[in-house]
Structure 1
Amino acid sequence: MNLFQLRAFDAVAREGSFTRAAARLFISQPAVTGHIKALEEHYQIPLLRRTARRVELTEEGTRLAAITRAIFGLVDEAQTLLEANRQLLTGRLEVAADGPHLVMPMIANLRARYPGITVNLRLGNAQETLAALLSEHADVAVLTEVQPRNGLHLQPLSESRICALVPAGHPWAQWPKGIRLDQLNDVIMVLREPSSITRRTFDDACREAKVQPKVLLELDSREAVTEAVAAELGVGVVSSMEVSPDPRVKAIAIQGDGLVNRHMLGCMERRRSLRLIQAFFELAS
Structure 2
Amino acid sequence: MNLFQLRAFDAVSREGSFTRAAKRLCISQPAVTGHIKALEERYDLVLFRRTARSVALTPQGHALAALTGPLFGLVEQAEDLLLANRALVSGRIEIAVDGPHVVMPLLARLRESHPGITVSLILGNAAETCEALLAERASIGVVTEVQPHPDLHIEEIAASRICVVLPRGHALADEAEIDLRRLDGAAMVLREPTSVTRRTFDAACRRRGVAPAILMELDSREAVIEAAAAGLGLGIVSSLERGEDARIRAVPIAGPDLVNRHAIACLARRRNLRLIRAVFDLARSLGPHNRDAGRDRGGMSPGKHA
| TM-score between both structures, scaled by the size of structure 2 | 0.86
Cα distance 1:49–1:148, how it changes in 2: closer, same or farther (>3 A)?
A: closer
Tell me if the contact between 1:140 and 1:266 (Cα under 8 Å) persists in the aligned partners.
yes
1:5 aligns with 2:5: yes
Cα distance 1:102–1:212, how it changes in 2: closer, same or farther (>3 A)?
A: same
Give the distance between the partners of 1:16 and 1:154, measured in 2 at CA.
25
1:164 aligns with 2:164: yes
Give the distance between the partners of 1:129 and 1:170, measured in 2 at CA.
37
Tell me if the contact between 2:180 and 2:253 (Cα under 8 Å) persists in the aligned partners.
yes
Deviation at 1:156, TM superposition (A): 2.4
Q: How does 1:160-239 map to 2 (within 5 A)?
A: 160-173=160-173, 175-239=174-238
Deviation at 1:218, TM superposition (A): 2.1
Moved more, 146-155 or 21-30: 146-155
Give the distance between the partners of 2:60 and 2:139, measured in 1 at CA.
26
Describe the SS at the equivalent of 1:166: strand
Cα distance 1:59–1:153, how it changes in 2: closer, same or farther (>3 A)?
A: closer
Deviations 1:161-211 (A, max 9, x none): 0000123343322x2424321111011211112222111111111112111
The residue number in structure 1 matching 2:106 is 106
Structure 1: stretches of 5+ with no match in the other structure: none
1:242 aligns with 2:241: yes
Describe the SS at the equivalent of 1:121: strand
Tell me if the contact between 2:96 and 2:141 (Cα under 8 Å) persists in the aligned partners.
yes
Deviation at 1:84, TM superposition (A): 2.2
Tell me if the contact between 1:205 and 1:257 (Cα under 8 Å) persists in the aligned partners.
no
The residue number in structure 2 matching 1:120 is 120
Tell me if the contact between 1:159 and 1:262 (Cα under 8 Å) persists in the aligned partners.
yes
Deviation at 1:26, TM superposition (A): 0.7
RMSD of aligned Cα (Å)? 1.8
Q: How does 1:1-285 map to 2 (within 5 A)?
A: 1-173=1-173, 175-285=174-284
Which amino acid is 2:220 matched to?
S
Deviation at 1:267, TM superposition (A): 2.1
Describe the SS at the equivalent of 2:217: strand
Which amino acid is 1:26 matched to?
C
User: How many residues of Structure 1 are paired with residues of Structure 2 in the alignment?
Assistant: 284
Deviation at 1:257, TM superposition (A): 4.1
Which amino acid is 2:47 matched to?
L
Cα distance 1:163–1:151, how it changes in 2: closer, same or farther (>3 A)?
A: same
| TM-score between both structures, scaled by the size of structure 1 | 0.92
Cα distance 1:53–1:154, how it changes in 2: closer, same or farther (>3 A)?
A: closer
Give the distance between the partners of 1:16 and 1:131, measured in 2 at CA.
13
Which amino acid is 2:253 matched to?
I
Structure 2: stretches of 5+ with no match in the other structure: 285-306
Give the distance between the partners of 2:264 and 2:97, measured in 1 at CA.
9
Cα distance 1:186–1:224, how it changes in 2: closer, same or farther (>3 A)?
A: same
Once the two structures are aligned, what percentage of the paired residues are identical? 61
Give the distance between the partners of 2:212 and 2:239, measured in 1 at CA.
20
Give the distance between the partners of 1:59 and 1:277, measured in 2 at CA.
30
Give the distance between the partners of 1:65 and 1:75, measured in 2 at CA.
15
Describe the SS at the equivalent of 1:164: strand
Give the distance between the partners of 2:13 and 2:31, measured in 1 at CA.
16
Describe the SS at the equivalent of 1:242: coil
Describe the SS at the equivalent of 1:27: coil
Deviation at 1:115, TM superposition (A): 1.6
Deviation at 1:243, TM superposition (A): 0.7
Give the distance between the partners of 2:276 and 2:220, measured in 1 at CA.
29
Deviations 1:54-89 (A, max 9, x none): 222222222222222222222122222222221212
Give the distance between the partners of 1:43 and 1:122, measured in 2 at CA.
32
Tell me if the contact between 2:13 and 2:137 (Cα under 8 Å) persists in the aligned partners.
no
Tell me if the contact between 2:14 and 2:136 (Cα under 8 Å) persists in the aligned partners.
no
Give the distance between the partners of 1:34 and 1:210, measured in 2 at CA.
60
Deviation at 1:27, TM superposition (A): 0.7
Describe the SS at the equivalent of 1:163: strand
Deviation at 1:53, TM superposition (A): 1.5
